[in-house]
Amino acid sequence: MKIAAISFKGKPENYCVIDKYLSRSAQPQKEDFTWLKEQGVTDVFNFRTMIVSGLDFNEEEVVKSLGMKYHNIPSVSRYPKGENVDIFLKEVD
């Protein structure tokens, strides 16, 4: 995974660059994935354990249609399971 130079016009809500390889945001809207792709994002990780009300698109299909990889690791953010952490670390290695 790599994040290129970032343009902040139209970014997903709460978008933040952690380092040159990792960023995070709130749930992106459908059009936000195009913006993320344009920024050089190659992989999208979904850690949600629930359905997002008002989400009227299939996130996995949108991400894959743009040529990015989609990873779904349902986790509770305050108390992630060790096995989920291991899956994430293996995917980003």
Alpha-carbon gap, residue 41 to 37, rounded angstroms: 5
User: pLDDT tens across 7-39, in order?
Assistant: 555 689 999 999 988 999 988 999 999 999 999
Tell me how many degrees the CA angle 31-35-39 measures, rounded to the nearest 5.
165
The pTM assigned to this predicted structure is 0.80
Residue 62, SS3 per DSSP: helix
Q: Is the pLDDT of residue 55 over 70?
A: yes
The mean pLDDT value for 67-90 works out to 90
Domains annotated for the chain, with CATH where assigned, are 16-92 (3.90.190.10)
